[in-house]
Structure 1
């Protein structure tokens, strides 16, 4: 792994990088991530309401950074169209569509209605497991999380260690004003559903229009994260059963 070359651990390297980058511009964070990990670095994107900013920034570093897109089978058609349009506009050359394993769907969600009875289980087979399998080939990854989203993200570091990997959150320090200014400066296309009142966009059964942040995601439930950013207990390995 990349961090072994300097004789450290993921946690040790993440702590050092966070100390160096916690006040840095997102582009500086991305360049540092790419310099450190090169081909062992991936970016995870939902191609949602705020995704254009991070993807545009990453394209300034390298258009060949692997972009992992969780195509859950429950996304809005507008999201699938936006993924193609935005990737083409930014010249991204390695966007990988991650889909749930057929075996998982057949045994756990044969009627595609698991979300009605267990949103956590639905997210697990459609997001968590596919991403775990894909990230097995990388030492570090980039997310688009931001502190202003609230909840568990309020104390989000710029660099952290998670499940033995280094995780970069370049936009942690930015608020909506910075995001909007960046979009305007670079004339980035908006997700089509933003104009219809969607501030955060996930799967259609669990997403509602909302005026701010992520309040429209899993509305009326205690759930605030799909699971891909939930820390596991030490020693608990990712569940990587099934095929992509």
Structure 2
């Protein structure tokens, strides 16, 4: 359980709102007592949060669910960032290979198949992510969530308690615009990746379950 009360989280958000993302990361890692992680899927702009986290803690574990459906450009981007930032990458893979899953359940569900998408997400993304969170057991989870990404995330903040994983979730670039993300990449000469596709979402305004309440219940029902 997060050691922070709702009042403490509200106070942290108020204090951090005017701080830089790097200062937010410094604060987050100071709260973690050696048990911070950063998660990534190597989507566009992810290099920003990975650069921030490794500036403060170079060996911070980087939790990556490689569901096997990434495009070639995303895998190449992941390897480039791993080398550039010397990432302590911790990949977690589903218990089913993509070929096995497709043979048994068919291809990636379509956007109008909500139940199919949730089952796909539970099998190929949420289960390995939950496994990774159990094994790495972070007290602080640093994410690249931003307010502008979709309607659900607009209700979050820089700091929140994550009920799915009982950790303090810190999103240092939560209030950054796309233009600010672009400027950060340019300033630090970091690569970006625009060919990314998340089959567990099918649409950018959908949640895959990692940051939504239903995700915590989805895995058991999909086994």
Deviation of 1:112 (Å): 5.4
Q: Give the gaps of 5 or more residues in structure 2.
A: none
Q: Do residues 58 (structure 1) and 56 (structure 2) align?
A: no
Q: Specify whether residues 16 and 238 from structure 1 end up closer, same or farther in structure 2 by C-alpha distance, changes over 3 A only.
A: farther
Q: Specify whether residues 181 and 59 from structure 1 end up closer, same or farther in structure 2 by C-alpha distance, changes over 3 A only.
A: same
Using the size of structure 1 for normalisation, the TM-score is 0.76
Deviation of 1:132 (Å): 1.2
Contact 1:114 1:121 in 2 (8 A): no
Query: Who is 1:210 aligned against?
Result: none
Query: Who is 2:210 aligned against?
Result: 228
Distance of 1:135 and 1:148 partners within structure 2? 26
Q: Do residues 179 (structure 1) and 181 (structure 2) align?
A: yes
Aligned residues: 215
Q: Specify whether residues 18 and 240 from structure 1 end up closer, same or farther in structure 2 by C-alpha distance, changes over 3 A only.
A: farther
Deviation of 1:107 (Å): 7.9
Distance of 1:64 and 1:17 partners within structure 2? 25
Q: Give the gaps of 5 or more residues in structure 1.
A: 207-216
Q: Do residues 24 (structure 1) and 50 (structure 2) align?
A: no
Q: Specify whether residues 105 and 135 from structure 1 end up closer, same or farther in structure 2 by C-alpha distance, changes over 3 A only.
A: farther
Q: Do residues 161 (structure 1) and 161 (structure 2) align?
A: yes
Distance of 1:124 and 1:77 partners within structure 2? 23
Deviation of 1:157 (Å): 0.4
Distance of 1:165 and 1:56 partners within structure 2? 22
RMSD (Å), alpha carbons: 3.1
Q: Secondary structure at the match of 2:209?
A: coil
Query: Who is 1:151 aligned against?
Result: 151
Distance of 2:32 and 2:156 partners within structure 1? 21
Using the size of structure 2 for normalisation, the TM-score is 0.83
Distance of 1:17 and 1:240 partners within structure 2? 34
Q: Specify whether residues 35 and 44 from structure 1 end up closer, same or farther in structure 2 by C-alpha distance, changes over 3 A only.
A: same
Distance of 2:4 and 2:218 partners within structure 1? 19
Distance of 2:30 and 2:220 partners within structure 1? 29
Contact 2:122 2:219 in 1 (8 A): no
Distance of 2:93 and 2:35 partners within structure 1? 21
Distance of 1:11 and 1:108 partners within structure 2? 43
**Please, which of 130, 133, 145 is the counterpart of residue 131 of structure 2?**
133
C-alpha offsets along residues 116-172 of structure 1, whole Å, 9 cap, x if unaligned? 551111111111111112112222211101112231122320000012211011111
Distance of 2:16 and 2:77 partners within structure 1? 31
Deviation of 1:226 (Å): 0.8
Matched ranges for 1:45-124 at <5 A: 45-92=40-87, 94-102=88-96, 110=104, 113=107, 115-116=109-110, 118-124=116-122
